[in-house]
């Protein structure tokens, strides 16, 4: 993973919230919130909260008396989450998932939506999640399946490969969709100290947008893929985005578009 894969700066956070959240994150956020609520926790920690889509669902799903602490490494993402708001009070904190600033055994659930792929040392991050969990608590997270099972991301990646044949931007395949081997995930949980067998399910959903331009903007401008495109030069970000939109248009049509998305959902008890 390149160090730039973790960089969400400038307008990326706003575009991420405006385009990417409704495109691919909403259905999985709702799913995670239900799974957390079923545990009836008394205190919840969210790591890699991004712009707060899961946080908003948790705020609605959990009793107002249940404290929610939402963290992310990137302050611009947290700023966008705060600006978007929640239905009730949430504690927002900038924090590194590999070095959480919380006491041992202080949460009933640690939840993470599509963040584990970005952790440079996944066993260390998992060990931190386990450390702050109370006995009997649960670590619940999801990770995207391989890119071929996520149609818009795959089409955009292939379009950019054609545009930059000598040095194609591979952020989407490398990081968001690069942690899809369930055997590796299980091994990393064990290395992080989890000795109970995780519950793992593969969940498919649909990604829909009013036009091909929306997923093109979402991926090319609302993720660190933007930095990869801009670093290469020779092709403007606008031209790269249009090439991605044209590829989506060619496959899914010029009007409303509908593509498959798929992810692994993991729950493991402490």
Distance between CA atoms of residues 221 and 75, nearest Å: 18
Of residues 236, 225, 240, 221, the one with CA closest to residue 12: 221
Work out how many domains the chain is built from and give that number: 1
**What domain range includes position 248?**
3-269
Q: What is the pLDDT of residues 246-263, one digit of tens each?
A: 999 999 999 999 999 999
CB-CB contact of 73 with 48 (8 Å)? yes
Distance between CA atoms of residues 239 and 164, nearest Å: 12
250 contact partners, CB below 8 Å, separation of at least 6? none
Average pLDDT, the chain: 95
pLDDT at residue 5, rounded to an integer: 44
Q: In 164-234, which ranges are continuous DSSP H helix?
A: 171-174, 182-191, 213-221, 225-232
Distance between CA atoms of residues 112 and 118, nearest Å: 11
pLDDT at residue 1, rounded to an integer: 56
Of residues 40, 31, 85, 81, the one with CA closest to residue 63: 40
| 192-38-28 Cα angle (round to 5) | 70
Of the CA atoms within 13 Å of residue 72, those in its CB half-sphere come to 25
Q: Which helix (H) or strand (E) holds 107?
A: strand 107-113
Tens of pLDDT along the chain (270 residues) come to 555 544 555 578 899 999 999 999 999 999 999 999 999 999 999 999 999 999 999 999 999 999 999 999 999 999 999 999 999 999 999 999 999 999 999 999 999 999 999 999 999 999 999 999 999 999 999 999 999 999 999 999 999 999 999 999 999 999 999 999 999 999 999 999 999 999 999 999 999 999 999 999 999 999 999 999 999 988 999 999 999 999 999 999 999 999 999 999 999 999
Distance between CA atoms of residues 70 and 81, nearest Å: 10
Q: DSSP letter string over 46-96?
A: ESS-TTSHHHHHHHHHS-TTS-EEEEES-HHHHHHHHHH--SS--EEEE-B
Q: Determine phi and psi for 133, rounding to 5 degrees.
A: -85, 140
Distance between CA atoms of residues 30 and 225, nearest Å: 26
CATH of the domain at 225: 3.40.50.150
pLDDT at residue 9, rounded to an integer: 52
Q: What angle in degrees, to the nearest 10, is found between the helix axes of 26-38 and 53-61?
A: 40
Distance between CA atoms of residues 214 and 218, nearest Å: 6
Share of the chain above pLDDT 70, in %: 96
pLDDT at residue 32, rounded to an integer: 98
């Amino acid at each position: 993973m390149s160090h730039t894969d973790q960089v969400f700066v400038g307008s990326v956070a706003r575009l991420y919230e405006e385009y990417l959240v409704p495109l691919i994150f909403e259905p999985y956020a709702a799913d995670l919130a239900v799974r957390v609520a079923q545990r009836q926790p008394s205190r919840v920690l969210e790591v890699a909260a991004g712009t707060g889509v899961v946080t908003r669902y948790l705020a609605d799903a959990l009793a107002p008396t249940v404290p929610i602490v939402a963290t992310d490494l990137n302050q611009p993402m947290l700023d966008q989450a705060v600006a978007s708001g929640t239905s009730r009070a949430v504690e927002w904190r900038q924090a590194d998932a590999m070095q959480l600033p919380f006491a041992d055994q202080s949460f009933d659930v640690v939840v993470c939506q599509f963040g584990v792929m970005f952790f440079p040392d996944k066993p260390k991050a998992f060990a931190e999640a386990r450390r702050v969990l109370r006995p009997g608590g649960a670590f619940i997270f999801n990770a995207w399946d391989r890119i071929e099972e996520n149609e818009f991301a795959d089409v955009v990646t292939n379009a950019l490969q054609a545009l930059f044949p000598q040095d194609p931007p591979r952020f989407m395949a490398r990081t968001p969709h690069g942690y899809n081997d369930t055997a590796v995930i299980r091994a990393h949980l064990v290395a992080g100290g989890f000795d109970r067998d995780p519950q793992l399910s593969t969940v498919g959903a649909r990604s829909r947008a009013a036009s091909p331009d929306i997923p093109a903007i979402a991926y090319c401008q609302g993720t660190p893929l933007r930095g990869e495109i801009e670093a290469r030069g020779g092709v403007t970000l606008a031209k790269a985005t249009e090439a991605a939109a044209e590829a989506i248009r060619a496959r899914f049509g010029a009007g409303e578009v509908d593509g498959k998305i798929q992810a692994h959902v993991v729950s493991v008890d402490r």
